[in-house]
Amino acid sequence: MDSSPHDHGDDGADSAPPAAYRSEVTLSVNGKPHTLLIDHRRVLLDLLREDLDLTGAKKGCDHGQCGACTVLVDGRRVNSCLQLAVSLDGCDVLTVEGLTEGDQLHPLQRAFLDRDAFQCGYCTPGQICSAVGVLAEAAAGHPSHATGPATPPGRPVPLDAAEIRERLSGNLCRCGAYPHIVEAVQDVAL
Amino acid sequence: MKPFGYLRATTVQEAVQALAAHPGARCLGGGTNLVDLMKLGVERPGFLVEVNRLPLDTVAELADGSLRVGATVRNSDLAAHPLVRDRYPALSQALLAGASGQLRNAATTGGNLLQRTRCPYFQDVSKPCNKRVPGSGCGARDGTHRDHAVLGHSDHCIATHPSDMAVALAALDARVELYGTEGARSVPVAEFHRLPGDRPELDTVIRPGELITGVVLPAATASLPSAYRKARDRASYAFALASVAAVLHLSDDGTVAQVGLAFGALAHRPWRATRAEEALRGGPATPDAFAHAVDLELRAARPLRDNGYKVGLARGLALDVLTRLATPART
Ligand SMILES: Cc1cc2nc3c(=O)[nH]c(=O)nc-3n(C[C@H](O)[C@H](O)[C@H](O)COP(=O)(O)OP(=O)(O)OC[C@H]3O[C@@H](n4cnc5c(N)ncnc54)[C@H](O)[C@@H]3O)c2cc1C
Ligand code: SF4
Ligand code: FES
Ligand code: FES
């Protein structure tokens, strides 16, 4: 069953591995329950894009270095390229596709449009999902590297531009749309 | 990636038994390092034991005033914990200086301690690396080693340990709690990671099949002034080039009553600066005394061709942090 030493990890290439290497997993994606027999090697990003046809989350680096694959798991933002799907049994996954309510854009989606906060748009779904997480974290009183030491624990942290830049540092934008991204998030944070 | 078996362990016993039953198995915490290395072909486990469902996900105050942090507490939750922010600010600061918001949401206390080096030769299976393949040589020694060690390295390996969290834990006198088939034991964080010597494949003193169950922060360093500072190539989301964690408690007469000092990104383990600490204890808390003590410690540095800058960088960071802790009004 061993792959070659030059295999750099393109999982899913082998068709159906033996039962010991697969498990049944139930997870909800954008509110819809799925029960799937999953190859243990499958990461959430590939499951979303290839098995569930949800191509909003993007593959940039595949190694946790760019944030393009950011989604929310149980309300917390994570890099879906590093999450093994088998570890998410019972979890709620929310992708950029799940942020809209019918035709109603999420306020952050609206703000990204209003502020023209993208150029090619490749990083945008990750930026938006990450920003959803940032708002929740700040509201829950989570500090960041930019939070002053005198800020009291347990209270919402106000999000100024420095806070937003620091908290979104896990989302790279090759087009350099950062100034508008910060403005868009600030519009919703205020 | 090589196919692997998988167990979602729900008790510590079950996890330890599964590790014993599958030699070479790995624990899966947040996966942010392990899954990355599996994609690169550096880690090739045949079996994973998921530890996230173990009852090790809480921060609890113990009767003696110490704080026990479960192995699966996420880095973001630990950094935000009110007792950690209040009593061990260096730890919260170190966590928040590491990785990104997304990564910290997934990363666990146990996984952070056991994350592997970021040496590019270690991560590239086409390159020689004694840590990955013992006896194959060290690509970094005569190659690219700007980020590598200046203290405690060996002919076999010059890698650094990349964790920010571990540096703060070392300065704070924290201990790692381990559990294996031979029972429970605990090791000071400052002694948990090894120097490479001639066995660079061993990062730490953890035994095969042993589980990290938690970390204990002692009452003795609770609520003392402490801080963490890190220098990196960009303002955020980058590993340390050098970092410092310090705990400093002054007596009423202004002399040093208690001090803990540790450097990050300079060595194969968080570098507890015991020589500097000894020089400072009982003496004045002045810039001159700090400079003398830090220089005494860094005298042991043996920089490589391209990383001599780290010594001066670490010195500056240490003097800044110690001076700030000695004059709290200025922070
Ligand atoms: C792009 C990027 C940037 C980063 N920047 C930084 C940074 O600036 N500073 C920093 O400190 N870190 C940084 N990191 C590293 C990050 O902090 C670690 O990947 C993370 O802390 C590992 O925790 P985990 O729970 O995800 O570990 P995992 O990946 O799940 O596991 C890591 C190792 O620990 C073992 N393990 C996990 N839990 C246990 C346990 N309870 N008992 C025994 N063994 C266990 C696993 O088997 C594995 O060998 C960065 C990572 C990435 C990808
Ligand atoms: S420094 Fe250590 S980890 Fe890096 S190539 Fe040399 S032996 Fe390998
Ligand atoms: S694709 Fe996941 S972080 Fe880049
Ligand atoms: S808009 Fe192009 S990468 Fe961000």
Is residue A156's pLDDT more than 80?
yes
Is residue A5's pLDDT more than 60?
no
Looking at residue A190, its pLDDT comes to 77
Looking at residue B274, its pLDDT comes to 98
**Is A89's Cβ below 8 Å from some Cβ in B?**
yes
Nearest CB neighbour to A78, from listed B36, B41, B106? B106
Start-to-end Cα distance in chain A? 55
Nearest CB neighbour to A167, from listed B80, B101, B103? B101
**Is A64's Cβ below 8 Å from some Cβ in B?**
yes
Q: Please tell me the residue having the least CA distance from ligand 1 atom 47.
A: B27
Q: Rounded to the nearest whole angstrom, what is the distance from the C-alpha of residue B144 to the centroid of ligand 1? A: 24
Interface predicted TM-score (ipTM) of this complex, two decimals: 0.96
Is residue B8's pLDDT more than 80?
yes
CA angle (B35, B144, B197) in 5-degree steps: 75
> Would you call A144 and B92 a contact, using CB atoms and an 8 Å cutoff?
no
What CATH number was assigned to the domain covering residues B226-330? 3.30.390.50
Looking at residue B329, its pLDDT comes to 55
Q: Centre a 10 Å sphere on the Cβ of residue A123 and count the other Cβ atoms it contains.
A: 24
| Average model confidence (pLDDT) across chain B | 97
For the CA of A123, the nearest ligand: 4
CA angle (B235, B240, B241) in 5-degree steps: 100
pTM of the predicted model as reported, rounded to 2 decimal places: 0.96
For the CA of B48, the nearest ligand: 1
Q: What is the pLDDT of residues B13-65, one digit of tens each?
A: 999 999 999 999 999 999 999 999 999 999 999 999 999 999 999 999 999 99
Percent of chain A with pLDDT over 90: 85
Residues paired with B258 in a beta bridge: B249
Q: Rounded to the nearest whole angstrom, what is the distance from the C-alpha of residue A27 to the centroid of ligand 4? A: 30
Is residue B328's pLDDT more than 90?
no
Looking at residue A9, its pLDDT comes to 43
**A134 interaction partners in chain B (CB closer than 8 Å):** 101
Least confident of A8-12, A162-166, B121-125, B228-232: A8-12
> Would you call A170 and B103 a contact, using CB atoms and an 8 Å cutoff?
yes
**DSSP collapsed to 3 states, chain B:** CCCCEEEECCCHHHHHHHHHHCCCCEEECCCCCHHHHHHCCCCCCCEEEECCCCCCCCEEECCCCCEEEECCCEHHHHHHCHHHHHHCHHHHHHHHCCCCHHHHHHCEHHHHHHCCCCCCCCCCCCCCECCCCCCCCECCCCCCCCCCCCCCCCCCCCCCCCCCHHHHHHHCCCEEEEEECCEEEEEEHHHHECCCCCCCCCCECCCCCCEEEEEEECHHHCCCCEEEEEECCCCCCCCCCEEEEEEEEECCCCEEEEEEEEEECCCCCCEECHHHHHHHCCCECCHHHHHHHHHHHHCCCCCCCCCCHHHHHHHHHHHHHHHHHHCHHHC
**Contact (CB, 8 A) for B132 and B42:** yes
CA-wise closest residue to B292 among B274, B265, B319, B328: B319
Please, which pLDDT band fits residue B292 given cuts at 50, 70 and 90?
Answer: very high
Domain ranges in chain B? 5-50, 226-330
Q: Which domains does chain A have, with CATH numbers?
A: 19-98 (3.10.20.30), 107-189 (1.10.150.120)
Q: How far from A5 is each of A2, A9, A41, B2, CA to CA, in Å?
A: 9, 10, 17, 10
Please, which pLDDT band fits residue B202 given cuts at 50, 70 and 90?
Answer: very high
For the CA of A79, the nearest ligand: 3
Looking at residue A16, its pLDDT comes to 67
Query: If you average pLDDT over residues B211-219, what whole number do you get?
Result: 98
Compute the nearest-CA separation of A116 from chain B (Å). 24
**Closest atom of ligand 4 relative to the A118 alpha carbon:** 1
Query: If you average pLDDT over residues B149-164, what whole number do you get?
Result: 98
Q: What is the pLDDT of residues A33-73, one digit of tens each?
A: 999 999 999 999 999 999 999 999 999 999 999 999 999 99
User: B190: phi > 0 → left, psi -120 to 50 → alpha, else beta; which?
Assistant: alpha
Token pair 């914990």 is found at B81
Architecture (CATH level 2) of domain B5-50: 2-Layer Sandwich (3.30)
> Any residues with Cβ below 6 Å from ligand 4, and which?
A 118-124, 173-175, 177
Chain-centre distance of CA B321, in angstroms?
18
Q: What is the pLDDT of residues B91-145, one digit of tens each?
A: 999 999 999 999 999 999 999 999 999 999 999 999 999 999 999 999 999 999 9
Q: What is the pLDDT of residues A69-89, one digit of tens each?
A: 999 999 999 999 999 999 999
**Closest atom of ligand 3 relative to the A70 alpha carbon:** 2
Q: What residues contact B133, with CB distance under 8 A and at least 6 apart? A: none
Please, which pLDDT band fits residue B4 given cuts at 50, 70 and 90?
Answer: very high
CA-wise closest residue to B321 among B258, B222, B227, B208: B227
Please, which pLDDT band fits residue A15 given cuts at 50, 70 and 90?
Answer: low
Q: What residues contact A48, with CB distance under 8 A and at least 6 apart? A: A29, A54, A55, A56, A57, A71, A80, A93, A95
Is residue B205's pLDDT more than 80?
yes
